[in-house]
């Protein structure tokens, strides 16, 4: 928080992506997507400052010129928690999720502000099947950063992992998309939920939004192809599957689906 003008901050998508990418590699981005254009609000990186009339840039308040530090944004981990956090990263890299979870609990006891600790605790809780802990940390994360997209994303992920409640998860992914309209991940996940709920036309709209932001999102391409097949649009499905195979090099499931669509 800005010590001079007291803005409410949310850390930018770049920071969240970096934290997850560093902590668990690509696994943190295993799922993809989120929502409808009519439901979206503009995404603005930065903070809303009580001494200003509008949204601010990510460096600080334009009116009082206070530069917001990484510590104030909550992006810099406390020194006391750093060692536990890095050891947890190594344990997770070696797929020892129980150890990673224990180390993150130690880190959390020393730093309850760093977003990466919350996300790591949620990920490892899901990995070890402790959905109650995953829900608890996701709720704490949401309470800590109610104006950021990431806690809503993780709430949705926990609901999917725990209950496969696509309707409830959809609400969280839509909230995430409302707060971060540039992230294809939230749109794709909304498309996935709509697909599971049988709302194929709406799912298609969400996936189109995801692929507009990331045309090479393999999972969204495959899911959109499957929806095209269900809607009788074979040509569009074939185009998506061919492009998905170009991106992936080769994928057995995509190849099988393409051959099935091409079959007379």
CA distance 171 to 163: 14
The pLDDT assigned to 67 comes to 52
The pLDDT assigned to 50 comes to 45
Q: Decide: helix, strand or coil at residue 8.
A: strand
The pLDDT assigned to 213 comes to 95
Residues 6+ away with beta carbon under 8 Å from 7: 1, 47, 48, 49, 50, 52, 56, 61, 68
* Domains annotated on the chain, with CATH: 8-214 (1.25.40.10)
The pLDDT assigned to 25 comes to 38
**Given the structure tokens 């992914």, which residue do they identify?**
173
Give, for all 264 residues of the chain, the pLDDT tens digit: 344 444 333 333 333 333 333 333 333 333 322 222 233 222 233 444 444 433 334 444 544 545 545 555 556 888 999 999 999 999 999 999 999 999 999 999 999 989 999 999 999 999 999 999 999 999 999 999 998 999 999 999 999 999 999 999 999 999 999 999 999 999 999 999 999 999 999 999 999 999 999 999 999 999 999 999 999 999 999 999 999 999 888 888 889 889 988 887
**Which pTM does this prediction carry?**
0.73
Give me the residues paired with residue 49 across strands. Answer: none
CA distance 7 to 48: 5
């Amino acid at each position: 928080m800005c010590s001079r003008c007291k803005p409410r901050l949310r850390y930018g998508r770049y920071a969240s992506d970096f934290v997850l990418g560093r902590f668990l590699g690509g696994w943190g981005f295993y799922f993809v997507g989120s929502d409808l254009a009519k439901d979206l609000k503009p995404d603005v990186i930065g903070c809303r400052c009580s001494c200003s009339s509008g949204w601010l840039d990510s460096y600080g308040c334009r009116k009082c010129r206070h530069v917001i530090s990484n510590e104030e944004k909550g992006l810099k981990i406390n020194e006391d928690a750093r060692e536990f956090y890095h050891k947890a990263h190594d344990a997770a890299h070696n797929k020892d999720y129980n150890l990673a979870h224990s180390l993150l609990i130690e880190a959390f006891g020393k730093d309850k502000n760093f977003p990466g600790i919350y996300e790591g605790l949620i990920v490892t809780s899901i990995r070890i099947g402790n959905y109650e802990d995953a829900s608890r940390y996701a709720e704490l994360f949401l309470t800590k950063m109610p104006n950021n997209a990431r806690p809503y994303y993780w709430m949705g992920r926990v609901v999917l992992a725990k209950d496969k409640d696509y309707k409830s998860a959809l609400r969280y992914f839509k909230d995430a998309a409302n707060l971060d309209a540039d992230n294809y991940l939230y749109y794709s996940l909304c498309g996935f939920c709509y697909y599971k709920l049988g709302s194929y036309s709406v799912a298609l709209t969400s996936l189109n939004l995801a692929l507009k932001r990331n045309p090479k999102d393999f999972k969204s391409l495959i899911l959109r192809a499957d929806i095209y097949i269900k809607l009788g649009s074979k040509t569009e499905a074939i185009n998506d599957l061919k492009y998905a195979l170009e991106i992936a090099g080769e994928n057995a499931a995509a190849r099988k689906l393409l051959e099935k669509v091409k079959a007379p």
